[in-house]
Amino acid sequence: MMINKVEICGVNTAKLPVISASKMRELFVILQSGELSAREKLIHGNLRLVLSVIQRFNNRGEYVDDLFQVGCIGLMKAIDNFDLSQNVKFSTYAVPMIIGEIRRYLRDNNPIRVSRSMRDVAYKALQVRDSLINRYSREPSINEIASELKIQREEVVFALDAIQEPISLFEPIYHDGGDPIFVMDQIGDDKNLDMNWLESVAIKDALHKLSQREKHILTLRFFEGKTQMEVAEEIGISQAQVSRLEKAALGHMRKHI
């Protein structure tokens, strides 16, 4: 994703204007009096804000042009709903709306398909969550959200889990100025413990102590997955002989492990 290219959607990002706080307030007053030309100026004057937000999503594999357009939709919604009387900076109000619009786009275009009904439940749960936060000034529990929606708690959990975005193992989760810490650095691997590694070394060492015939039989049986009958046909002995040789080889290996 080329986030630092100069032109996005035909817009030269190097020449995007920056509007001062006083000019921004003036334009909002003009817009709310009914002068729609002020809306265009507010949009154009805040495109740098959209540009800064989409950089958070530069590891999603999405086209930057698409994210920029979706971010602009969030910007326009923020401009249309901004309330000057709340004494809040426009960027403080707009950034969550732009992020929300982009996340909604990413969820809807997620390669992991989620049913429409489950997505509807998830979006309603998120709306109820925001409503309860405003009502109680705290994060609501899943039970409270389920009670408000009049559905089972499990339905809310499944729906919210279903719309979670996949995360790359190479997504940085912490950076202190040195090497970044990635998601994969925080994941354990039970298959590569020291004990398993030592056991693997011991097995290889024990195999070397077997005769060529014993080693060949165990290779065919346990590494190539052949049956005793198939092994017997391949090396030209009876299935009973293969069975005896296999048991004897395993017995020899147990003594060395």
Provide the pLDDT for residue 2: 44
116 or 257, greater pLDDT: 116
Percentage of the chain surpassing pLDDT 70? 76
* C-beta separation of 90 from 76 below 8 A: no
Provide the pLDDT for residue 116: 76
Extents of the domains making up the chain = 1-109, 112-170, 191-256
Pairwise CA distance, residues 98 & 104, whole Å: 10
Provide the pLDDT for residue 147: 93
Nearest residue to 108 via CA among 150, 151, 45, 62: 62
Pairwise CA distance, residues 45 & 24, whole Å: 9
pLDDT > 80? residue 6: no
* Cβ count within 10 A of residue 82: 18
Paired tokens of 54 = 């989409």
Lowest mean pLDDT among 35-39, 67-71, 80-84, 221-225: 221-225
236: alpha, beta or left, given left = phi > 0 and alpha = psi -120 to 50? left
* C-beta separation of 94 from 49 below 8 A: yes
Provide the pLDDT for residue 59: 67
161 or 176, greater pLDDT: 161
Q: What is the pLDDT of residues 177-210, one digit of tens each?
A: 556 666 665 565 555 555 555 566 667 777 778 8
Q: What is the pLDDT of residues 8-18, one digit of tens each?
A: 666 666 677 77
Q: For the residues 99-123, what does the mean pLDDT come to? A: 78
Q: Do domains 1-109 and 191-256 have the same CATH topology?
A: no
Q: For the residues 80-84, what does the mean pLDDT come to? A: 87
In this structure, whether the domain defined by 191-256 belongs to CATH 1.10.10.10 is answered with: yes
Q: For the residues 107-119, what does the mean pLDDT come to? A: 71
Mean pLDDT, the chain, whole residue set: 79
* Cβ count within 10 A of residue 83: 10
Provide the pLDDT for residue 1: 42
Paired tokens of 103 = 């996340």
Band of residue 3 on the pLDDT scale cut at 50, 70, 90: very low
Band of residue 103 on the pLDDT scale cut at 50, 70, 90: confident
pLDDT > 50? residue 71: yes
Inter-helix orientation angle 37-45/21-32, to 10° = 150
In this structure, whether the domain defined by 112-170 belongs to CATH 1.10.10.10 is answered with: yes
List, in sequence order, every beta strand (DSSP E) within 69-203: 172-174, 181-182
pLDDT > 70? residue 41: yes
Pairwise CA distance, residues 200 & 204, whole Å: 6
- Strand, helix or coil for residue 15: helix
Residue given tokens 């809306």 in the structure block: 39
**pTM flag (> 0.85):** no
Paired tokens of 203 = 């097995």
**Residue 8: DSSP 8-state:** E
Q: Which one is the CATH code of 1-109: 3.40.50.2300, 3.90.226.10, 1.20.120.1810, 3.40.50.150?
A: 1.20.120.1810
